[in-house]
Amino acid sequence: MNSIERRVRAHVIDRLRDTGAAPGVADVSEALEIPQADVTVSLRSLADQHRLVLRPRSDAIWMVHPFSGIETDFVVRAKGRCWYANCVWDGLSILGLVGDGRLETHSPQTGEAIRFDVEDDRVAEDAIVHFLVPAKRFWDDIGFT
């Protein structure tokens, strides 16, 4: 990862953390004073390195773990703010970064609401989380995983 890629990735993560929304190419370009073409090249390179994920056939940010750049079924709420995560694991990771709060989702099998409250850096509920895809296979289809 080169220095421009580092700056672009850090900016994207900071924006997702601070606002809950992924910046576009023009936003990154303006904020970092880097030409849009260089931002696009950096985003594509970062995607090739599995450091972020772009939406299919686009330069728009889909995810930078643990944050999702799009709305998902995994909603994280803390300190009066909201973020989207890609899965339970990422949702709890966001709470690890921002502090105590709640992860809300639902059972994919029954649709029943599920929530995880984090208080004093600990998950307050007892639950079992099952991952259908082994970790070593996540990047085979990161969107499904």
Q: 25-29, 121-125, 139-143 — which one is most confidently predicted on average?
A: 25-29
Backbone angles phi, psi at 99, to 5 degrees: 110, -175
Evaluate if residue 83 carries a pLDDT over 70: yes
Report yes or no: 129 and 89 within 8 Å, Cβ to Cβ: yes
Mean pLDDT lowest among 16-30, 42-56, 119-133? 119-133
Q: For the CA atoms of the chain, what is the radius of gyration?
A: 16
Coarse DSSP helix, strand, coil percentages of the chain, rounded to the nearest 5 percent: 40, 25, 40
pTM: 0.87
Q: How far apart are CA 70 and CA 72, in angstroms?
A: 6
pLDDT at 39: 98
